[in-house]
Structure 1
């Protein structure tokens, strides 16, 4: 990595030549290096279910053998499960069997589940009986009846031992798995249009997990408290695979704030991971001040841009550095990442430098690299990234150019050391009166006002100005502050003292909460719809 960047393109040296190339190889490696090491813990109402490396390998092999009794290698196997033993055992068992995992959010609507099963061609779906009051298996059965191909539905009632039935005591005959073969089809949580099926390879998962844990500093024998959903790359690539690679105890848990805080103390956790929204909820818990968080070395987050004030608050609360990744499903969950040893300013304002084996370019409109400090579109390239979208050559060609660069649609700035700061989305940029406005810049200013808990800024159509800046504001949870306590005039003055006039919102909407995707990203498309349905004031120039 060069110490000074003259143009915003970093061509990474090749990633380490790993002896383990397929998902199953990493599990076998863990069992070989320390069969008695505790690798998986899943707390439950009847006590914790715990697997050593040897036990996890044996049970995953039994799951694989049971699957092979019904399906051929290459078959798509869908899961629709909350965090728990079944999700982990099926992920590993499907990989050992040379089949393809299709993990689906258990809170998906029937049309969303139907789309995932139809596009992937899944032959079976293991679905939870119930998640958060939703009858998931019942919905899956109804969806399966509508599909043109046969789909076996396996209701999962929480008894993970049922997965081992049919596997025998001494599994054998597992296939050799090509590292370049398809391991998973994961569906993006896009805010518009139908979700695309991202193709993820075995070698991509292995290379990503190894590079990720090396950068974040998870030690062998560490303990990782992980409420990240296992149907996303953050949970099943960075989490499951990262912990396996580093032979750390992976504590898989549903997100319940009090439970997560208790586990950090009980298990003397080394690493805690949670989306920014979930970290917010943890810090709002009354017991946070008395919880023993002293064992934590790192707190990890991602999925959305975080502000320096948020980083400061997390680090002061948890007593550990906050590491924020930039990642996508297409990058197996992580592409850019600081390290815990980076200077505070790098952690506060950037998403760090590229992981091993990842090329990065900040591209101008002509596709050439821009100079350090200039914004441009973030392009990524490397063998661990997705080869494309399943059964969608048009979407693949639109996202990945002939030179292999993935055009992320995200705007970034690279500093002279190669660290990158995210500054917005190309499609979210607001154009008002011929000027460009970054929503994130305005949101950061609004977040600094004491009456504001969260804010999101979008453009509303304007015949005269093209777009007008509209702010959606969630009041801070403080005495005396509610919807009536938000004074738009004060917020406007706050913005005018810190922003150019054309960036100041022209319309203010006070809301109880912001619409979010399943991966806790703001649904800006929904906010744009709301803003357009209730037009902003047309008087005055946005300047």
Structure 2
């Protein structure tokens, strides 16, 4: 029986909900103290729910020796035990976490620390060759709020002070839990204000959509400085009381962890899944326990869904969201019918209002493209110290205008068809980059594709395609043009082709279209 669309769009969060991250941790320790909740293969360490709560409380106690509730504590760390324990300890101490990409360059790191007003930074000595602790120390004199840089590199206990906590503060669900930074595809990254209620609402709804069987053992190489890792991963796994297997992404260790831990769920961005799918160790890896693959960060074509489900022997769950929505708004369930899993990004998560808005802001009929608007507890409370950007993104009624073009069917499942700013206008006609990209990746010699527009005096814009070949054979522009002409209207067929080894990606696995437009425009001069 079809879902009632009006109920789905304003779906409440079911049952009593823990209001803050500490409540979710206490719930897990209370209901299943001996269950394994965290493991880090790189260090060989594991934590039961009871042990994780004890260590998180000790981290909170150490923080509260020197810092007041409400202080902002930054982390710049690769995946491992440190970012998880600090996230939980900071939350219990009533402080605000500022997770920063450990691959940040000096100007990016200094910008994040200055804007956030962080008073302490826990930084990796070496994050994949990036000496972020040294970079932060060099910038410290220019950052009046930053009092201390803690260097992490010889085990988490060496850098994180532990102490018996005093009475932990009462934390308001609407208080600031994190300041997360947008990917910054254009201009400087903005600080996104995320509340405890937003994180808890999202983590629970996400885990519930995956289903109870998926989360027994959850291998998660998604970055813990981003909502995909520390909201969907940390909070989602805590809610599901799953063993959260945290490790940096590298294909061989991830495949090893899937086999060793008998994983039932793998979280990985599409680009990471693609690397795993082509790795020579995959055919010999025991994936017999794997049931669900979770991915997000970019739209994926039906051919990708078919390929990874066949290779991994598991169902794919796709989510669509952004930092401003704690990482998720829409999500397919592993149990959804094939057409929904292959062709959409699913229905709204519980606690989310969704509107597909026309130019005048009113909802458009099912099957009609419009801007995706979202509203609810998981939506950011705005950008840090940037009221103008906040007002531009969130209207007076609380709707976040995502800038994404989407369609919703009569049952509430959505399909994202592009970005408003990415829409190409050529010869008076609109071209959706996503539509062209889906046609291109259906070509057997194309692994990935991204389509952008470049200015042209005659046509307004010309369609340019960047293509990553699927194997050793490079498809010719003539082949690709013929392939598109058979499947697209003439004005949608790319006029210019670029074969590249890889597409530029943000830290959250989204294609940097602004960079591609810059490259295409430079080459067109």
Question: Under a length normalisation based on structure 2, what TM-score does the superposition of the two structures give?
Answer: 0.97
> 2:424, 2:461 within 8 Å by CA — same for their partners in 1?
yes
Q: Counterpart in 1 of 2:38?
A: 40
How many residues align? The count is: 525
> 1:128, 1:158 within 8 Å by CA — same for their partners in 2?
no
Give the Å deviation of 1:13: 3.4
Q: 1:130 to 1:436 in 2, by over 3 A?
A: same
- Distance in 2 between the 1:397 and 1:424 partners? 23
Unaligned runs of 5+ in 2: none
Q: Counterpart in 2 of 1:65?
A: 61
Q: Counterpart in 2 of 1:472?
A: 466
> 1:210, 1:245 within 8 Å by CA — same for their partners in 2?
yes
- Distance in 1 between the 2:483 and 2:160 partners? 61
Q: 1:19 to 1:365 in 2, by over 3 A?
A: closer
> 1:95, 1:183 within 8 Å by CA — same for their partners in 2?
yes
Aligned CA RMSD, in angstroms, stands at 1.6
Q: Counterpart in 2 of 1:12?
A: 10
- Distance in 2 between the 1:499 and 1:220 partners? 39
| 1:141 is aligned to 2:137 | yes
Give the Å deviation of 1:158: 3.8
| 1:3 is aligned to 2:3 | yes
Aligned mate of 1:49, from 42, 45, 48: 45
Give the Å deviation of 1:220: 8.7
**Deviation larger for 250-259 or 382-391:** 382-391
Give the Å deviation of 1:85: 0.6
Give the Å deviation of 1:221: 7.0
Aligned mate of 1:95, from 91, 113, 131: 91
Q: 1:218 to 1:261 in 2, by over 3 A?
A: farther
Aligned mate of 1:347, from 318, 328, 341: 341
Show CA shifts across 1:345-372 (max 9, x none).
Answer: 1000001101111000001111111111
- Distance in 2 between the 1:370 and 1:200 partners? 30
- Distance in 2 between the 1:370 and 1:4 partners? 17
**Helix, strand or coil: the match of 1:325?**
strand
Which segments of structure 1 move beyond 6 Å, counting only runs of 4 or more? none
Q: Counterpart in 1 of 2:234?
A: 240
Give the Å deviation of 1:163: 4.7
Show CA shifts across 1:294-318 (max 9, x none).
Answer: 1111100000010000000011011
Give the Å deviation of 1:190: 2.5
Unaligned runs of 5+ in 1: 537-543
> 1:307, 1:349 within 8 Å by CA — same for their partners in 2?
yes
> 2:453, 2:463 within 8 Å by CA — same for their partners in 1?
yes
- Distance in 2 between the 1:218 and 1:43 partners? 24
- Distance in 1 between the 2:342 and 2:214 partners? 27
After TM superposition, the structure 1 = structure 2 runs for residues 313-392 of structure 1, keeping only pairs within 5 Å, are 313-392=307-386
- Distance in 1 between the 2:502 and 2:11 partners? 44
Show CA shifts across 1:166-205 (max 9, x none).
Answer: 514xx32211111111100000102101111111111111
Q: Counterpart in 2 of 1:131?
A: 127
- Distance in 2 between the 1:470 and 1:221 partners? 41
- Distance in 1 between the 2:469 and 2:214 partners? 43
- Distance in 2 between the 1:326 and 1:477 partners? 29
Question: Under a length normalisation based on structure 1, what TM-score does the superposition of the two structures give?
Answer: 0.94
- Distance in 2 between the 1:95 and 1:166 partners? 15
Q: 1:466 to 1:221 in 2, by over 3 A?
A: closer
- Distance in 1 between the 2:68 and 2:52 partners? 23
- Distance in 2 between the 1:164 and 1:401 partners? 41
Q: Counterpart in 2 of 1:539?
A: none
Give the Å deviation of 1:419: 0.2
Q: Counterpart in 2 of 1:527?
A: 516
- Distance in 1 between the 2:93 and 2:508 partners? 29
- Distance in 2 between the 1:381 and 1:369 partners? 14
Q: Counterpart in 2 of 1:541?
A: none
Give the Å deviation of 1:5: 4.5
- Distance in 2 between the 1:290 and 1:252 partners? 22
> 1:431, 1:437 within 8 Å by CA — same for their partners in 2?
yes
